Amino acid sequence: MGIQPFPQAPTDQSAASSLTALRAQLEAAGCFERKPLRAVAELVANLLGSVLAFLVARQLMRAGAPWAAAPMFAVGSFLFYRNGWLMHDAAHGGSWPGIKANRWFAALVAGVLGEFPSGWRHGHNRHHARTNVLGEDWDQRERWDPTRRYSSRWRAWMGLFLFTRYRGIYLPASLLFMGLRDGYYCNRHYRDRFAAELTAVIIGLGLQLGGFICLAGVWQGVLLFLLHTHLGMIYLNSAFAGNHYDLETFTPEQARELDMASLQARTTRNYAGGWWTHYVFGGLEKQLEHHLFPHLPRHHLHRAAPYVRDFVRARGLPYHEAPFWHCYMRVLDFHVDPPRTQAPRT
């Protein structure tokens, strides 16, 4: 069935009813179909691929080829942390037909990663509801920190992607620190789940650490584990860096005057690209589609894109899309010399 252009909404039609009509189009196109077996297969493939890559890296080191072992180790970490897309999808309700099944799968994958799913979801939902809203978008705090301004792209890259800043101290960017943050959120807001999630985190991180110790010995294994979590944070930070940072920012008062579609379209950018972009970013390169419909399974976001593009353009809203590296450079430039037009408007 061909894609029908989304009709221009009458002036008296509410934004909510327009989104409801768009959702109906997407449902008719099969965009909300869940594929749980695909999620399980992807989890198994990512884990097996990462273990194989780490084993190959060990053999290369033993053969005296560290120049080849290092990129193979990075491939192993990349494959392992692609499971983050699976946790993300299930936490939003996009992997399995039922709410309970999605929560169980999200908890399983989070345990593998060493993450607190309830704590992560608490902060992430704030990002979805208040994207680029000053002081209320918890995923975008660095952009408003006046101390995180740099003299060059190189320094900006180091300050944004290699390190995290906590109470004036720069620490290596690591998923361990993000896990501590989400553990705090879990304990504070979902205390009934904290014990179970903490147990899963300890098991998950213990298995990772034990695996690296088996590969390289105690001290080298600990260092490899820390490097592994560092690479994972760089990957995830980089993946979402260009989706929002340099786009419009709103104060809470301004945001309250915008409907959801307007806020998301003006603050969200997609990455353009083919199959490689789709693989690296797990389908979430279609970030606007995901922000408008968080429950929409990420593997169907590319199918939803033409409908969403017609919808936002019919409403006179922008459909931001650019290649990843273009977006990445814009983020670095934003922190070197932030454009005046990107400051919160008064």
Residue 76 lies in a domain: yes
Strand partners, 172: 163
Residue 3 lies in a domain: no
Q: Give 59's contacts (C-beta < 8 A, 6+ positions apart).
A: none
Residue 161 lies in a domain: yes
Judge contact between 277 and 258, C-beta under 8 A: no
In DSSP notation, 275-305 reads HHHHHHHTTTT-HHHHHH-TTS-GGGHHHHH
**Cα–Cα distance, 130 to 136 (Å, whole number):** 6
Number of domains forming the structure of the chain: 1
Domain that holds residue 96: 15-336
Q: Given its phi and psi angles, is residue 16 left (phi above 0), alpha (psi -120 to 50 degrees) or beta?
A: alpha
**Cα–Cα distance, 123 to 168 (Å, whole number):** 22
Residue 342 lies in a domain: no
3-state secondary structure of 175: helix
Residue 346 lies in a domain: no
Residue 344 lies in a domain: no
Residue 313 lies in a domain: yes
pTM, whole model, 2 decimals?
0.89
Residue 5 lies in a domain: no
Question: Residue 19, exposed/middle/buried by CB under 10 A (0-12, 13-18, 19+)?
Answer: middle
For each of the chain's 346 residues, which pLDDT tens digit applies?
Answer: 333 333 333 333 566 678 999 999 999 999 999 999 999 999 999 999 999 999 999 999 999 999 999 999 999 999 999 999 999 999 999 999 999 999 999 999 999 999 999 999 998 988 999 999 988 887 766 777 777 788 889 988 988 888 877 677 777 888 888 898 899 999 999 999 999 999 999 999 999 999 999 999 999 999 999 999 999 999 988 898 899 988 998 999 999 999 999 999 999 999 998 899 999 999 999 999 999 999 999 999 999 999 999 999 999 999 999 999 999 999 999 888 765 434 443 3
